[in-house]
Amino acid sequence: MEWYYAEADRKMGPVGEDELKRLLAEGMVGGGTMVWRQGMSAWAELGTVLPDLASSAPAAPGAATAGITCSQCGRRFPPGEVIKLSGTWVCAACKPIFVQRLKEGAALPGIAQYAGFWIRFAAKIIDGMILAVPNFVVMALTAILTGTVMKAAGMADAVTAVVAVLVNWTFQLGLPVVYNTFFVGRFAATPGKMACGLQVILPGGGKVSYARAFGRCFAEWVSGFTLGIGYIIAGFDREKRALHDHICGTRVAKKQRAAG
């Protein structure tokens, strides 16, 4: 028997009865989840269509005694009475409001609001303007140094030109790496992202380590090498991931205001 089930406003499946059992055990579906199979005139709650299956669901690991906390009301429920929506637990009572607010794009506790292409683009421009200042200073300094000091030392023009270019390249490539690694590793956001209210996070909302922030700099080069396509795909991804977010397992989310 092939079943379909609803998650938020998406139709999932088809899944067999065994798979449905597994989803129940994991709490991905609950007694209140709307389900449908061929031959049914309308969608109905899993608990009414398959009461035996719903009640026989083994408890999710570790949840047997503790229960699962609804992310919205904070009350604890047995695993069969909560469902996972967009990666967070919601009880039957909170589900309609939760789904409604999810559709409206409202900020919900426990749900990251991923940042789209344009706001990230704006953050990039701000970072670019900040980095332009030291880049300009270094360019000016190397121009002066190569023009005066190296010439005075009797170096050939071609050599001084190469040295100047190498110094500038190294600086212009290295500075964003230092800048991104430090700010993302320390504050989860570069000044540009901070100004736009954005954060780089892990899928579960956790903090990005310095090592991951460092790796992400080079992954971002890959996004750049693809003529910007790596950035543009963020506009089409379900979790608004750019190519370098895919590579590094990161997300860029709107910063949530602390509750209360």
Binding mask 211-240 for Zn ion (x = CB under 5 A): ------------------------------
Is the four-CA dihedral 182, 188, 189, 191 of positive or negative sign? negative
Which CB atom, from 77 or from 114, has the smaller least distance to Zn ion? 77
Contacts 24+ apart (CB under 8 A), 232-237: 232/117, 234/116, 234/117, 234/120, 235/116, 235/117
Binding mask 54-83 for Zn ion (x = CB under 5 A): ----------------x-xx----------
| Minimum separation from the CB atom of position 76 to Zn ion (A) | 10
Binding segment for Zn ion (CB under 5 A), chosen from 15-23, 48-56, 87-95, 243-251, is: 87-95
* Tally: H helices and E strands in the chain: 12, 11
> Are β-strands 3-7 and 10-15 bridged in parallel, bridged antiparallel, or unpaired?
antiparallel
Which CB atom, from 78 or from 116, has the smaller least distance to Zn ion? 78
Task: Say how many residues touch Zn ion, by CB under 5 A.
Answer: 5
| Minimum separation from the CB atom of position 90 to Zn ion (A) | 6
Which CB atom, from 110 or from 116, has the smaller least distance to Zn ion? 110
Burial label for 73, CB within 10 Å (0-12, 13-18, 19+), is: middle
Which alpha helices (DSSP H) does the chain contain, by range?
A: 17-26, 46-49, 51-56, 63-66, 95-104, 117-145, 151-152, 157-187, 191-195, 210-225, 229-232, 243-248
Which CB atom, from 94 or from 189, has the smaller least distance to Zn ion? 94
* DSSP letter assigned to residue 35: E
Residue 94 makes contact with Zn ion by CB under 5 A: yes
Among 28, 57, 91, 248, binds Zn ion (CB under 5 A): 91
Residue 15 makes contact with Zn ion by CB under 5 A: no
Map tokens 């209140």 to a residue: 32
Residue 108 makes contact with Zn ion by CB under 5 A: no
Q: How many residues does the chain have?
A: 260
Binding site for Zn ion (CB under 5 A): 70, 72-73, 91, 94
